[in-house]
């Protein structure tokens, strides 16, 4: 079996193509989308899961375990990968990610939410301290993806305070409208091309796909 057989191409690129398609649709939307840093990291982990399967997982697969457990060995490794992702997500500091919005569009909405939640809130450039909520953060901008991140500053953070900020900001963003991000066309195009390539290689050699699958499952 070689790395570039049709099944391995599909496994490696399938989740990544889906991720790019979703990102493309989000960036072409006229509405901003708020998500947490944990969910954003989990989505990225799902996008590279296929690369992990055909890369490190298969490279370090113990042959004796594959013979003993058959196809279940992949379920065990995927479960271990999922647990690792959950652990990383839980260890991440609080963070909010707003897709399809510029800093200039977000700033007045955020300022209004902050004023309602904490009368003692203080701004210092792109940094914000909300002592009543127990939240300290700074703003980070990714112009190409047209998103803004609210990243926690310092280890002393109140998770209930962050959840309250997320809830209020999400409600404010539901009333907002933005222009689509042209970069979304590139993301969508790459996703479609990858999906088309996967479909082509799978349809070209269905017998080879079944053979590769049987070998992976040790049938």
The residues, ordered by sequence, that sit 6+ positions from 185 with a Cβ below 8 Å of its Cβ are 24, 28
What is the 8-class DSSP label of residue 2?
A: -
| Per-residue pLDDT at 66 | 67
Q: 71-109, pLDDT tens digit by residue?
A: 788 888 899 999 999 999 999 999 999 999 999 999 999
Judged by DSSP in three states, 61 sits in coil
Q: Which domains does the chain have, with CATH numbers?
A: 1-92+180-219 (no CATH), 94-179 (3.30.310)
DSSP readout, 102-144?
A: -HHHHHHHHHHHHHHH-TT-EEETTEEEETTTTEEEEEEEETT
pLDDT at 15: 96
Which neighbouring-strand residues pair with 148?
98, 141
Quote the pLDDT of residue 3: 47
- What is the C-alpha to C-alpha distance for residues 153 and 130, in angstroms, rounded to an integer? 11
Regions of the chain with pLDDT less than 70: 1-4, 65-67, 218-219
* DSSP assignments along 150-161, one per residue: EEE-SS---HHH
């Amino acid at each position: 079996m070689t790395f570039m057989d049709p099944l391995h191409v599909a496994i490696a690129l399938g989740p990544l193509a889906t991720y790019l398609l979703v990102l493309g649709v989000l960036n072409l939307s006229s509405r901003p989308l708020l998500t947490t840093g944990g969910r954003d990291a989990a989505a990225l982990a799902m996008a590279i899961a296929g690369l992990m399967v055909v890369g490190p997982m298969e490279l370090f697969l113990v042959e004796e375990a594959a013979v003993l457990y058959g196809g279940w060995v992949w379920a065990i490794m995927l479960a271990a990968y999922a647990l690792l992702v959950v652990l990383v997500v839980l260890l991440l500091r609080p963070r909010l990610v707003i897709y399809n919005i510029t800093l200039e569009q977000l700033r007045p909405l955020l300022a209004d939410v902050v004023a309602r939640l904490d009368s003692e809130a203080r701004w210092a450039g792109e940094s914000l301290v909300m002592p009543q909520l127990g939240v300290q953060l700074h703003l980070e901008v990714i112009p190409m993806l047209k998103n803004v991140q609210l990243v926690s500053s310092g280890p002393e953070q109140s998770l209930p305070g962050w959840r309250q900020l997320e809830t209020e900001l999400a409600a404010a963003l539901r009333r907002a409208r933005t222009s689509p991000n042209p970069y979304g066309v590139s993301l969508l195009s790459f996703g479609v091309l990858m999906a088309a390539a996967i479909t082509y290689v799978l349809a070209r050699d269905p017998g080879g796909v079944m053979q590769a699958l049987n070998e992976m499952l040790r049938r």
